[in-house]
């Protein structure tokens, strides 16, 4: 499995887990889920809460992937700060733009952190900006975590190990993240 496919698979699992957690924590969502009789209804319900669970490996995001049925999650052409906060401990990711060599994501974290002893080690460069809230980010090569708040941005070079120490509670931390491969990978 190529790295891009692995990341797509892992993201789908994260989205599924977050949607399950929401349905277990929110009786109204659980009732709505029980009312679904077809797969596409479950996918649409998840999407209306900011989760994208319908994609298969290699499948492009559907044109309305960032548009919930209520319009609350319309990040492609609307307000990046709108939409419900994920439940505590989770985050949602919405791909806003994806082209060869470039991906723009909106990440909404709520009291989330990387698992203990887990470090991201990405093959792409990542530039992030905090649009809402605050977060603490730790680099493996730095002794002290960095405090990021609204408006702070940061370039994370490919291969630089890092982890999320913490993000704000609801309404959470909203990030905008731009990913691209190193020049020698193009």
Helix (H, G, I), strand (E, B) or coil at 102: strand
* pLDDT, average across residues 158-182: 94
pLDDT tens-digit map of 83-141: 888 889 989 999 999 999 999 999 999 999 999 899 999 999 999 999 999 999 999 99
For residue 38, CA distances in Å to 46, 66, 67, 137 come to 13, 21, 20, 40
Predicted confidence (pLDDT) per residue in 24-46, tens digit = 888 998 999 999 877 667 877 88
Total structural domains in the chain? 1
Domain that holds residue 64: 3-185
pLDDT of residue 70: 28
Highest mean pLDDT among 50-54, 59-63, 168-172, 178-182: 178-182
**Is the pLDDT confidence value at 75 over 50?**
no
Average pLDDT value for residue range 65-70 = 33
The predicted structure's pLDDT at residue 185? 65
Displacement of CA 48 from its chain's centroid (Å): 15
C-beta separation of 49 from 68 below 8 A? yes
* pLDDT confidence bin for 56, thresholds 50/70/90: low
If you average pLDDT over every residue of the chain, what do you get? 83
Say whether pLDDT at 59 is over 80.
no
Q: Any idea what DSSP says for residue 120?
A: B
Exposure string for 127-156, b = 16+ CB within 10 A, e = fewer: ebebbbbebbbbbeeeeebeebeeeeebeb
CATH of the domain at 80: 2.60.120.10
Q: What's the rounded Cα separation, in Å, for the pair 165 and 144?
A: 11
- Residue 67 scores a pLDDT above 60: no
Token representation of residue 179: 């990913």
pLDDT at 39: 66
The pLDDT of 47-73, averaged and rounded, is: 52
10 Å Cβ neighbour count for 47? Answer: 23
Residue 180, CB half-sphere, CA atoms under 13 Å: how many? Answer: 12
What are 154's strand-pairing partners? 128
For residues 100 and 180, the answer to whether their CB atoms sit within 8 Å is: no
Q: What is the mean pLDDT of the segment spanning 44-64?
A: 65
Q: Is 139 helix (H, G, I), strand (E, B) or coil?
A: strand
| Residue 43, SS3 per DSSP | helix
């Amino acid at each position: 499995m190529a790295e891009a496919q692995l990341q797509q698979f892992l993201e789908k699992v994260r989205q599924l887990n977050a949607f399950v957690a929401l349905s277990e924590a929110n009786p109204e969502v659980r009732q709505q889920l029980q009312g679904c009789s077809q797969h596409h209804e479950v996918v649409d319900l998840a999407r209306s809460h900011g989760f994208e669970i319908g994609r298969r490996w290699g499948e492009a995001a559907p044109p309305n992937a960032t548009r919930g049925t209520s319009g609350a999650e319309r990040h492609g052409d609307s307000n990046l700060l709108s939409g419900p906060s994920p439940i505590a401990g989770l985050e949602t990711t919405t791909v806003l733009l994806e082209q060869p060599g470039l991906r723009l994501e909106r990440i909404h974290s709520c009291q989330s952190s990387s698992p203990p002893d887990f470090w991201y080690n990405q093959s792409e460069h990542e530039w992030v900006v905090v649009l809402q809230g605050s977060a603490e980010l730790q680099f493996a090569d730095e002794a002290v975590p960095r405090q990021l708040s609204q408006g702070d941005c940061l370039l994370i070079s490919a291969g630089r190990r890092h982890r999320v120490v913490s993000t704000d509670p609801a309404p959470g931390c909203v990030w905008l993240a731009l990913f691209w491969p190193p020049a020698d990978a193009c």
